Amino acid sequence: MVAGVVWAVAQPYRIVLLDRDGLGLYDYLVQPPLLVVLVGLVYTVAIAPGLVEDLEAGDRGPSR
């Protein structure tokens, strides 16, 4: 997520919201820095908790 924010700050011309030259909804929603932030959020909310749970279960030893 931080990488997407840094990318947006480092290259503000990639953020279409700042330059409205007859662009459509797709151009506003599908922007590389925003996609990086979105992937980070999905990973944090959907994937990471399951990984942590599996790692904690592995520390307890094999389940029988």
Q: Say what the pTM is.
A: 0.64
Whether 31 and 13 have beta carbons less than 8 Å apart is answered as: no
Inform me whether the pLDDT recorded for 7 exceeds 70: yes
**What number of residues does the chain have?**
64
- pLDDT-derived band at 19 (thresholds 50, 70, 90) equals low
Comparison of pLDDT for 36 and 62, the residue scoring more: 36
pLDDT in tens, 23-55: 777 777 777 888 888 999 999 999 999 999 999
Q: What is the mean pLDDT of residues 10-26?
A: 70
pLDDT at 64 (0 to 100): 58
Query: Could you give the CA distance from residue 46 to residue 35 in angstroms, rounded to a whole number?
Result: 16
